[in-house]
Amino acid sequence: MDLRQLKYFVQIAETGNFSRAAEVLRIAQPSLSQQIKSLEKELGVPLFVRHARGVTATEHGQQLYDHARRILQEIDDAKDALRSQTSDPSGRVSVGLATSACRGLSMPLLRVMAERLPNVTVHLVEAMTAYLDELIQAGRLDVALLYDHKAFEHVAWTEMITEDLMLFVPAKSPIAKRKSVPFKKLFNFPIVLPGRPNVLRIVIEQIAARYDITPVVKDCDSLPAIAKLVCDAGFMTVMPHFAFIDEIARSEMVPVPIVDPTPSWTLSVVVSQRTMHTRASEAVARVMAELIADMVEQGTWRAKLRGGKGARYSSG
């Protein structure tokens, strides 16, 4: 058994597919398969179960995965420690952005990363918070921006901002002229929301339950599709202001505050403790958090900083 075999094994376990792993590792699939066969022969146990969609780690495979990740992590930490005084952070860092934040944050983030961390390659992944949470817990994401993140093992996080959720209506709707809409009146309108287990949906349903309200809504898990339904089909939706800043600027939608109560959620910068590029991931998390704080303080991102003005990311 050698480090190369462990690296190959971890990549297959995380992608769940020999072909995709071979592409990422840039080696021929037959060579990759042969390496795993040799590893299984040496250990005397099967490491993967083959099925139509790819492979899944066996019980023995999962045990090896946990050990292999720790071994590779410790080697990476050792390299980082030795290089920390002589070089800038480097490596590939996967960054997950919640869909409602990705549209407004992705371009500024990539721009500032290129300026501040030129030796780090950032791979952006856009998805709903629930899916990003699963990926970062499994060690398949290095850094993520998550809403209402819950405490789990193998991750560190810093709560950054709190956003109020607003009712978005078509610009020509009579509701657009209102100063606010009571929460209890929301479901008198044609509402479209992401389906469960989306965090926003859960936030809304939890508040509705306190008032014995059963939300009747249209489910849609695509933010662009939700935008089209609001702009072109007369629907309304509940989102943070930042989700539709482009549509607001084009006068296609109008955000109306929700009151009594005002729903809100908290956004956190989360770092996997299973990342193979610890120093680079921490640097990316710090730069991303500083960018978010700057956008809030400048008024680009309508939210409240946790800890007040000047609050910044802390890895502790």
Percent of the residues in the chain that have a pLDDT greater than 70, as a whole number = 92
Could you tell me the pLDDT band of residue 111, with boundaries at 50, 70 and 90?
very high
Question: Between residues 196 and 171, which one has the greater pLDDT?
Answer: 171
Among the ranges given (31-40, 112-121, 154-163), the one the predictor scored with the smallest mean pLDDT: 154-163
Residue 136 scores a pLDDT above 60: yes
Q: Indicate if the pLDDT at residue 23 is higher than 80.
A: yes
The domain segmentation of the chain, as residue ranges, is 3-83, 91-161+265-305, 162-264
Q: Which of 79-88, 125-134, 186-195 has the lowest mean pLDDT?
A: 79-88
Mean pLDDT of 201-211: 94
Cα distance from N-terminal residue to C-terminal residue, the chain? 35
Distance from chain centroid for Cα 265: 15
Residue scoring higher pLDDT (142 or 156):
142
**Arithmetic mean of pLDDT, 8-24:** 90
Residues 237-247, buried b or exposed e (16+ Cβ, 10 A)?
A: bbbbbbbbbeb
Listed range (5-19, 31-45, 69-83, 123-137) with the worst mean pLDDT: 69-83
* DSSP per-residue string spanning 111-174: HHHHHH-TTEEEEEEEE-HHHHHHHHHTTS-SEEEEESPPP-TTEEEEEEEEEEEEEEEETTSG
pLDDT of residue 138: 80
Instruction: Determine the Cα–Cα distance for residues 84 and 105; give it in Å rounded to an integer.
Output: 29
Query: What would the mean pLDDT of 28-51 be, rounded to a whole number?
Result: 92
Distance CA 125, CA 138 (A): 15
Q: Where residue 152 falls among pLDDT bands split at 50, 70, 90? A: low
Please give the pLDDT value at position 316.
47
Per-residue pLDDT at 253 exceeds 80: yes
Mean pLDDT of 184-207: 93
The better pLDDT of the pair 59, 80 is held by 59
Q: Do domains 3-83 and 162-264 have the same CATH topology?
A: no
What are the structure tokens assigned to 183, written together? 């929460």
**CATH code of domain 3-83:** 1.10.10.10
pLDDT bucket at 81, cuts 50 / 70 / 90: low
pLDDT reported for residue 315: 54
Q: In whole angstroms, what is the distance from residue 12 CA to residue 202 CA?
A: 33
Determine the pLDDT at residue 310: 46
> What is residue 311's predicted lDDT score, i.e. its pLDDT?
46
Does the model's pTM come out above 0.75?
A: no
pLDDT at 272 over 80: yes
Instruction: Label residue 206 left, alpha or beta by phi (over 0 means left) and psi (-120 to 50 means alpha).
Output: alpha
Give the CATH number of domain 91-161+265-305: 3.40.190.10
Helix 99-116 to helix 278-298 angle, to the nearest 10 degrees? Answer: 110
Is the model's pLDDT at 85 over the cut of 90?
A: no
CA distance 250 to 192: 21
Give 274's pLDDT tier (boundaries 50, 70, 90).
confident
Would you say domain 162-264 falls under CATH 3.30.300.30?
Answer: no
Residue with tokens 């007040």: 308
Q: Mean pLDDT across the chain, nearest whole number? A: 88
Q: Name the pairing type of β-strands 120-127 and 91-98.
A: parallel
- The stretch 259-263 carries a mean pLDDT of 96
Contact (CB, 8 A) for 252 and 172: no
The answer to whether 170 and 176 are in contact (CB under 8 A) is yes
Q: What pLDDT is stored for residue 277 in this prediction?
A: 72
Give the mean pLDDT of 197-219: 93
Between the alpha carbon of residue 221 and those of residues 103, 126, 132, 201, 255, the distances in Å are 15, 12, 14, 10, 20
